Amino acid sequence: MSLPDNAEFRELLSSLSVVAPSENADFRSVEAIPVGHALDGSNRIAEDARKIWFKSSGQMQWESLVKRIQAELIYRGHTSKESVVYALLCIYCLHPEKSVNPVESLNWILDKILSMNLTQFYILPGQTPAGLRRFTFGEFTIGTLNADRLESRSRKAGSDYYLRYYKSLLGRLTIERDYAPGKMLDWRPIKDLISRHQYSMSDWNRFVEAYYWSLSDEYWAEFWEVFFTSQYLLIAAGAPVLRPRLLQIVPGVVPVSVFLSEEFGHVSPGLLGYIVMDFGGADKKFLATAERLKREYGFEGFTSNDLHRTLQAYSSFVARAELHLAEANVDEAFLHYVIALDLVFGDEQSIAQTVSQRVAMIVYRPTGMSFRDAVSAISKAYAVRSKYVHEGRPVKPEMIDQIKIIGREVLHCLLRLQRLNDISIDQWLKNLDYFVASVDANRALADEELNHNGIV
């Protein structure tokens, strides 16, 4: 897939320029690069905003061009943020043949997209607290900066970043994400072509740095999303919440992105503006929780089976509930706990009473309640949810305590169920309905039958 070489594309692309035209009556401009895309250590060096001038006539408008390039980037597996497109078009404006072969020149640049691996270092301002051990969950490691890794990756990228700044970074608490796959442009052949003609080196450096800043920004957004989703099951099982929003507003953080292909790379540092953080003993609790999940439930990671998809969906909403609770949003925490129950036990035909009975079947024995009391407690939770959603009534703190207990027992049941891995969710729900009917009819249920469905 390439950009179409038609008259509308040729006319608009050939008009692009990063230099203000002398006769600009027919030209419009957009701010392609904002002020402040230069960094020297811990200092920002302010630079003027840079614009792209263009003639927009006929059917191809600027907005349409940007969207078409974004679609091309998506097709090629590259991030497609608008600022990435703008930086790329700034580089395109330096192409010596853009006026003669505009579409071909831009397609030639896009053909230089290649696969890369990204290492991200989120370097916090303070030294690692005494007693905090490095710990890992998912793709992330938290602890003292792995200086050897940063030095090695910087050197492979052909950057002197580590040599220049390592003294200010050693010993600092860091969140590291190792080798996330991605795409980036291979700038070497592009620069080689441009350097054969007259061009501004300062423009080139500014445009390439803007490209990597924009690329980094999009990958940092993904970083925080994956950082939280990687905690879902651990949080639901009792580990503390490491809140992305809190970590993102810490002043003095240095986020460093190291882009590496097989042959070249780039280091893109940033600056977010002194606080001491101990991560709530997460180094011990995350490890202990992960070990308990493996020891008690044989869980080592999600797979694509039906039970694991349900477990992942459920734990995601329990984790969101815990995040809201950590931020004192009691009402939203309660709402997410109830939504988590709906995700597992509800379907298009189910009513709140059916869901309440299914949940009660799981929780009444381990919580020491009677079946009727459990149904009543869960039905009350649904009533409180409804009053909050439809009337704005706040949730009382004791309701949170109860829904957390119920939610924990459901989680344990799902974990036991995934270890057995010999029943579908649909069949399991039918079995729960059968068990409910049996309890209603005062028919005894064998422990073996209940255990086979994750119920203790």
Do 131 and 253 fall within a single domain? yes
Do 52 and 119 fall within a single domain? no
Do 105 and 125 fall within a single domain? no
Q: What are the tokens at 213?
A: 């800043």
C-alpha–C-alpha distance, residues 167 and 374, integer Å: 59
Rounded to 5 degrees, φ, ψ at 7 are -60, -40
Do 131 and 254 fall within a single domain? yes
Do 264 and 312 fall within a single domain? no
Helix axes 187-194, 201-229, angle to 10 degrees: 170
Number of neighbouring beta carbons within 10 Å of residue 419: 14
- The β-bridge relationship of strands 113-127 and 172-185 is antiparallel
Q: Does the residue 201 lie in any domain?
A: yes
Do 385 and 438 fall within a single domain? yes
C-alpha–C-alpha distance, residues 220 and 157, integer Å: 19
Residue where a domain stops, chosen among 93, 110, 127:
110
Q: Residues near 150 by Cβ (< 8 Å), separated by ≥ 6?
A: 121, 162, 166, 169, 256, 258
Do 266 and 323 fall within a single domain? no
Do 243 and 387 fall within a single domain? no
Q: Does the residue 233 lie in any domain?
A: yes
**Domain region containing 325:** 302-451
- Report the side by side order of strands in the sheet with 265-269: 135-137, 140-144, 172-185, 113-127, 254-260, 265-269
Do 136 and 80 fall within a single domain? no
In the Cβ-directed half-sphere of 182, how many Cα atoms lie within 13 Å?
26
Q: Does the residue 26 lie in any domain?
A: yes
Question: In sequence order, what are the beta bridge partners of 190?
Answer: none
Q: What are the tokens at 295?
A: 């020891």
Torsion, CA 42, CA 44, CA 45, CA 48, rounded to 10: 170
Residue where a domain stops, chosen among 110, 127, 149:
110
Give the model's pLDDT for residue 274. 45
Total number of domains in the chain: 3
Q: Does the residue 413 lie in any domain?
A: yes
Q: Residues near 55 by Cβ (< 8 Å), separated by ≥ 6?
A: 11, 12, 15, 26, 27, 28
Closest C-alpha to 4, from 13, 424, 135, 268:
13
C-alpha–C-alpha distance, residues 323 and 329, integer Å: 9
Secondary structure in 3-state letters for the chain: CCCCCCHHHHHHHHHCECCCCCCCCCCEEEEEECCCCCEECCEECCCCCEEEEECCCCCCCHHHHHHHHHHHHHHCCCCCCHHHHHHHHHHHCCCCCCCCCHHHHHHHHHCCEEEEEEEEEEEEEEECCCCCCCEEECCEEEEECCHHHHHHHHHHCCCCHHHHHHHHHCCEEEEEEEEEEEEEECHHHHHHHHCCCCCCHHHHHHHHHHHHHHHHHHHHHHHHHHHHHCCHHHHHCCCCCCCHHHHHCCCCCEEEEEEECCCCEEEEECCCCCCCCCHHHHHHHHHHHHHHHHHHHCCCCCCCCHHHHHHHHHHHHHHHHHHHHHCCCHHHHHHHHHHHHHHHHCCCCCCHHHHHHHHHHHHHHHHCCCHHHHHHHHHHHHHHHHHHHHHCCCCCHHHHHHHHHHHHHHHHHHHHHHHHCCCCHHHHHHHHHHHHHHHHCCCCCCHHHHHCCCCC
Number of neighbouring beta carbons within 10 Å of residue 317: 22
C-alpha–C-alpha distance, residues 76 and 269, integer Å: 25
Q: Does the residue 377 lie in any domain?
A: yes
Q: Does the residue 288 lie in any domain?
A: no
| Digitized pLDDT (tens) for each residue of the chain, 456 residues in all | 678 788 888 888 888 998 888 776 678 888 889 876 455 555 556 678 889 988 866 556 788 888 889 989 999 999 988 999 999 999 999 998 988 899 999 999 999 999 999 999 999 998 999 989 999 999 999 999 999 999 999 999 999 999 999 999 999 999 999 888 999 999 999 999 988 887 788 888 899 999 999 999 889 988 998 999 899 999 999 999 998 888 988 888 999 999 999 888 999 998 654 445 566 677 778 888 888 899 999 998 888 888 999 999 999 999 999 988 887 788 899 999 999 999 999 876 667 888 999 999 999 998 888 999 999 999 999 999 999 999 989 888 788 888 998 999 999 999 999 988 778 999 999 999 999 999 989 998 899 999 999 998
Q: Does the residue 289 lie in any domain?
A: no
C-alpha–C-alpha distance, residues 276 and 264, integer Å: 36
Q: Does the residue 350 lie in any domain?
A: yes
- The β-bridge relationship of strands 140-144 and 135-137 is antiparallel
- Residue 430 sits in a domain whose CATH number is 1.20.120
Do 103 and 189 fall within a single domain? no
Give the model's pLDDT for residue 12. 87
Give the model's pLDDT for residue 58. 58
Do 307 and 214 fall within a single domain? no
Do 88 and 146 fall within a single domain? no
C-alpha–C-alpha distance, residues 405 and 39, integer Å: 50
- The β-bridge relationship of strands 254-260 and 39-40 is unpaired
Its pTM surpasses 0.85 = no
